[in-house]
Amino acid sequence: MERLKHLIESLQVDSLLKDQLITELKAVEKELVGCEFKYSRTLMDKNAITNILNASITEIEKQKKIIEDARNKINESLEALDHQKKLIEIKNSELNNAMDNLKATQRQLIESEKMASLGELTAGIAHEIQNPLNFVNNFSEVNTELIEELSTEVDDENKKIIMSDLKQNCEKILFHGKRADAIVKNMLQHSQKNKGAKESTDINALADEFLRLSYHGLRAKDQSFVAEYKTEFDKSIGKIKIFPQDIGRVLLNLCNNAFYAVTEKKKMSNADYHPLVTITTKKTKNALNREIVEIVIADNGMGIPEKIRHKIFQPFFTTKPAGKGTGLGLSLSYDIIVKEHAGKFFAESTDGKGSSFVIELPVDNQG
Amino acid sequence: MTARNLFVDDIEQLKTKYGLAVSDGFRPSVAIVFSSISQDRKAIADFFNEKAITVFGSTTAGEILDNEVFENNTVVMLLDIRAADYCVLYREGEDTYQISQDIANHALDVFKNPAIIIISSGIAIDAEQIIKGVNSVDASIPLFGGLAGDDLTMKASYVFSNNFDSSNGLIALVINADKVLIKGLATSGWDDIGIEKTITSSKGNIVYEIDNEPAADVFVKFFKFTGSVDTKAEIIVMNFAQYPLQLKKDNGNVVLRAPMMVDANSKALIFAGSIPVGSKVKFSVPPGFDLIEKTAERVGKLKTSIPDPDAVIMFSCKARHLALGPLVTDEAEKIKAIWNKPMIGFFTYGEIGTAQNSLCDFHNETCSMVVLEELK
């Protein structure tokens, strides 16, 4: 610039032009300074803007990462919550099951309490009836003998006829007295405390024996009796400790009932119906995870009507016609299984299709 | 009202130029004096004392007179405003809010409808307290002004009058608005950039933490500034003041806040106006060089309300001077050309004025104009 100024001043031109040139030069100089400033200013701002934007990007990325981390954490929490929800659901259903079990147990407890008191009542009544019944039986026996003696002393035919009638009457009293005595003896078994120790018993053999006994017993009484039977035994059961006589009674009772049920159905059915009684044994575990032996006596008879199902274990409840059943079989069986053997005894039945009586005996008794 | 401008290098020049200015019988009552701290303010005040002319003075960070921009000089505007229509008030004290209230109360005692042109000295002052103080007395008082400069030494700035000189005070030219029409406008043009940040610790105009980081560290990080921030005040202003924080205030005003100083111990930044905790701020960058045209265009709108003023006063932020460099003269030229009337101004450390569609506020990076017309 300075060189240009000197150059202009040294020019051999008139001073007006010289001044003009100098003015122009100054304007150019000003422009130049402005441009230089603009350039450096722009550079400085560019740097600043770049720095601010870069720092902003870094910051945004940092925040983005924080947000992503937070999102991941939330997702993890959600998963954990889901997991916990599932656990809670499982626990819930377990609790519900436990509740159901508890209710069932409670029901059973109430039932067994009822049965126990009914059993005791029954035994008490039996005991009270037994003595007067003994008098009835003994004196009707004595009367029979006395009438026989008297008839040898009397010649009058009319009197003999009357005495014969009296004798027959006494015999009838004795017959029915003996029947009553048998019922009373049955009733008394409710109160009989068990005698002696349990014996290691082969459940399968026991079940087989009493099934056959029942079958052949019924055949002997009634020639028209027709039914099939089947056994499905779990050979792994081995021997368990029970009172074999008592369990035998239970099995016989249940088999008789089953055959009775199928026979009754047979009477009402056509030829397509095949009466069948099945005994199944199985070693398994109960709801409390304890080992048990399960004996199921199933028939394809008429089933037990829903409305009387809850009464079947009560003493004197029977569906058989008068004289055919005492109504004590199932109630005694119940006492034997539940009280003597700490087992479970219950029935499953479908109306018209048949019934299953289930005996559960704890394997703790295994010997 | 007549206004005459004098550019002076020293006291002798003032005497000569003053003599010429009054040679035609012009009788000024007020002298607006904007002077570099390097000038002899005392001598100037004494000179006007002799002439019984009221001085409304402030130190500067560069002076503006008509279409020219100076440094280390004095510029003077002589006004023959009627004695009954103005008064100059000054107060000194730490409590800016309270002395501002004082001035506003006094102004209301003198005039029914005063307008106040106010200048404050002090480098670390919270200038927002001036506006709050005046508004607490009467928010309808038109208020304009700026913060005195000290040639970027950031040591002490001054306001002065005939027998007053304070680095910790306020001076106000109070005008009877019923007799003198007065309008103003503050325009900035700075653009916000980058992400929003939150002021997490501050007290008045001292900002300790931005997004829980020491405030100075945030500026250093964002500008990749490698120099030491606690050595030289000028460096701070040069590097940081041009990239101020943009703050959206509760009252809806958008203002810029430029850092003035760094507290080396706490790494706090001292701004010219307060920034409350919780404020959302963004960095801002100087606009392109079309700023000059834009500013002139916006200021030109004032012409519709005062087409023929007697005098024009300009408070322009020092950061604008730095951002525009030699082009700042172009801005002065363009604004002067709007009315082509006597114009005086200086480069400030902050401006008080009203931005478009906004309430009166304290600003940085603005060109804050005041135009006066005495009613006949």
With a pLDDT cut of 90, the percent of chain A lying above it is: 36
Instruction: Give CA separation, B63 vs A257, B11, B71, B159, in Å.
Output: 126, 17, 6, 15
B327 interaction partners in chain A (CB closer than 8 Å): 34, 37-38
Residues comprising chain B, all counted:
376
Largest CA distance in chain A: 204
Mean pLDDT across the stretch A337-366?
A: 86
Partner B contacted by A159 (CB < 8 A): no
Q: Would the CB atoms of A37 and B193 count as touching at under 8 Å? A: no
B46 pLDDT tier (thresholds 50, 70, 90): very high
Q: What is the mean pLDDT of residues A223-250?
A: 89
- The predicted-structure confidence for B206-225, as pLDDT tens digits, reads as follows 999 999 999 988 888 877 77
Confidence band for B231, pLDDT divided at 50, 70 and 90? low
Query: Distance between CA atoms of B211 and A45, rounded to whole angstroms?
Result: 24
Q: Hey, are the CB atoms on A38 and B327 less than 8 Å from each other?
A: yes
Q: How far apart are CA A113 and CA A106, in angstroms?
A: 10
The beta-carbon neighbor of A34 closest among B193, B242, B326 is B326
Interface test with A, best of B238, B243, B245, B333 (most A CBs within 10 A): B243
pLDDT of residue B38: 95
Q: How far apart are CA B71 and CA B67, in angstroms?
A: 14
pLDDT in tens, B232-258: 555 666 677 788 899 988 888 889 998
Higher pLDDT, B234 or B201: B201
Which pLDDT score, from 0 to 100, does residue A12 have? Answer: 83
Chain A: closest CA distance from residue B222 (Å):
5
Contact A37 B326 (CB under 8 A): yes
How much of chain A, in percent, has pLDDT values that exceed 70?
95
Quote the pLDDT of residue A195.
Answer: 63
A91: left (phi over 0), alpha (psi -120 to 50) or beta: alpha
Q: Taking a contact as any Cβ pair under 8 Å apart, which residues of chain A between 29 and 68 contact chain B?
A: 30, 33-34, 37-38, 41, 45, 48-49, 51-53, 55-56, 59-60
Contacts of B289 in chain A (CB under 8 A): 38, 41
Q: Which is nearest to A176 in space by CA: A139, A136, A211?
A: A136
CB contact under 8 A, A41 and B286: yes
Angle at Cα B364 formed by Cα B361 and Cα B365, nearest 5°? 130
pLDDT band at B152, cuts 50/70/90? confident
Q: What is the pLDDT of residue A351?
A: 85
The answer to whether B289 contacts chain A (CB < 8 Å) is: yes
Q: What is the pLDDT of residue A193?
A: 56
Check CB contact under 8 Å for B194 and A55. yes
Instruction: For B258-315, write each residue's pLDDT tens digit.
Output: 888 888 788 888 888 889 999 999 998 888 888 888 899 999 999 999 999 999 999 9
Single-letter amino acid, residue B54: T
Which residues have a Cβ under 8 Å from the Cβ of A11 and sit 6 or more positions away? A18, A21
How far apart are alpha carbons B98 and B94 in whole angstroms? Answer: 9
CB of B323 closer than 8 Å to CB of B286: yes
Compute the distance between CA of residue B17 and CA of residue B8 in angstroms, rounded to an integer.
8
CB contact under 8 A, B222 and A55: yes
Q: Distance from A48 to chain B by nearest Cα, in Å? A: 6
Contact A38 B224 (CB under 8 A): no
pLDDT reading at A322 higher than 80: no
Euclidean distance between CA atoms B319 and B61, whole angstroms: 10
Q: What ipTM was reported for this prediction?
A: 0.75
Closest CA to B157 of B267, B291, B35, B334: B35
Instruction: Tell me: pLDDT of A366 over 60.
Output: no
Cβ separation B195–A45 shorter than 8 A:
no
Q: Which token pair is B243?
A: 């990239």
Task: Find the residue in B nearest to A37 (Cα).
Answer: B325
Interface check A135 vs B, CB under 8 A? no
If pLDDT is split at 50, 70 and 90, which confidence band does B20 have?
A: very high
Nearest-by-Cβ selection for A59 from B195, B223, B330: B195
Lowest mean pLDDT of A280-289, A358-367, B171-180, name the range.
Answer: A358-367
pLDDT tens digits along A12-63: 888 888 889 889 998 999 889 989 988 988 888 888 888 888 888 988 999 9
Lowest mean pLDDT among A351-360, B67-76, B141-150: A351-360
- State the pLDDT at residue A367: 41
Residues of chain B found within 8 Å of residue A41, distances taken between Cβ atoms: 286, 289, 323, 325
> Which of A194-208, B48-62, B267-281: highest mean pLDDT?
B48-62
Give the torsion through C-alpha atoms of B160, B166, B170, B173, to 10 deg: -10
A78 Cβ partners below 8 Å, 6+ apart?
Answer: none
A366 DSSP assignment: B
- Dist. CA A133–CA A188, nearest whole Å: 14
Q: Which of the given ranges, A122-131, A245-254, A283-292, B100-109, has the highest pLDDT on average?
A: B100-109
CB contact under 8 A, B195 and A34: no
- DSSP structure string for A228-262: EEEEE--GGG-EEEE-HHHHHHHHHHHHHHHHHHH
Encoded tokens for B136: 């607490």
pLDDT at B80: 95
Which of B224, B285, B323 lies at the smallest CB-CB distance from A49?
B285
pTM: 0.62
Interface touch B195/A41, C-beta < 8 Å: no
Q: For A259-307, how does the pLDDT look when each residue is reduced to its tens digit (9 = 90+)?
A: 999 998 888 888 889 999 999 999 998 877 888 999 999 999 989 988 8
Query: What pLDDT sits at residue A192?
Result: 61
Q: What does pLDDT average to over chain B?
A: 91
DSSP notation for A97-119: HHHHHHHHHHHHHHHHHHHHHHH
Q: Is B328 exposed, middle or buried (0-12, 13-18, 19+ CB in 10 A)?
A: buried
Inter-chain residue contact B283 with A52, CB threshold 8 Å: yes
Mean pLDDT score of chain A: 87
